């Protein structure tokens, strides 16, 4: 059974929590687009997607496609799939922001 995009995004968020605490507050949701290297999750945090890959993976390996997919930073199947991945990240970020707001954080 194929793993869901949500599971991958949750894994990616957990990685970002370790590498870039507070990352969800730095994402401009109105610009978020995983089809773009500049305004995807890693692009917004590190300036460019490839730069971000080097920052979040300890070995600095930006060429490992498995890691990109495993952590929900990319999905090269179709643009529609990337659009859906963008939506999953967006929902996660909104959920986290709502929890912070409701907890007075």
- The structural domains of the chain, with segments of one domain joined by +, span 5-100
pLDDT tens, residue by residue, 26-44: 999 999 999 999 999 999 9
Within 10 angstroms of residue 27's Cβ, the number of other Cβ atoms is: 20
Compute the distance between CA of residue 78 and CA of residue 100 in angstroms, rounded to an integer: 33
Q: How confident is the model at residue 78 (pLDDT cuts 50, 70, 90)?
A: confident
pTM: 0.87
Please give the pLDDT value at position 58: 74
**28 exposed, middle or buried (CB, 10 Å; 0-12, 13-18, 19+)?**
exposed
Helices (H) and strands (E) in the chain, counts: 5, 0
pLDDT tens, position by position, 40-58: 999 999 999 999 998 998 7
């Amino acid at each position: 059974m194929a793993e869901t995009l949500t599971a991958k995004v949750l894994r990616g968020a957990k990685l970002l929590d370790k590498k870039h605490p507070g990352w969800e507050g730095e994402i401009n949701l109105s610009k978020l687009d995983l089809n773009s290297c500049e305004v995807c999750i890693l692009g917004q945090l590190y300036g460019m997607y490839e730069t971000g890959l080097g920052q979040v993976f300890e070995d600095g390996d930006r060429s490992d496609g498995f890691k990109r997919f495993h952590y929900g930073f990319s999905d090269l199947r179709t643009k529609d799939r990337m659009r859906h991945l963008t939506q999953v990240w967006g929902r996660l970020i909104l959920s986290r922001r709502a929890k912070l707001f409701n907890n007075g954080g």
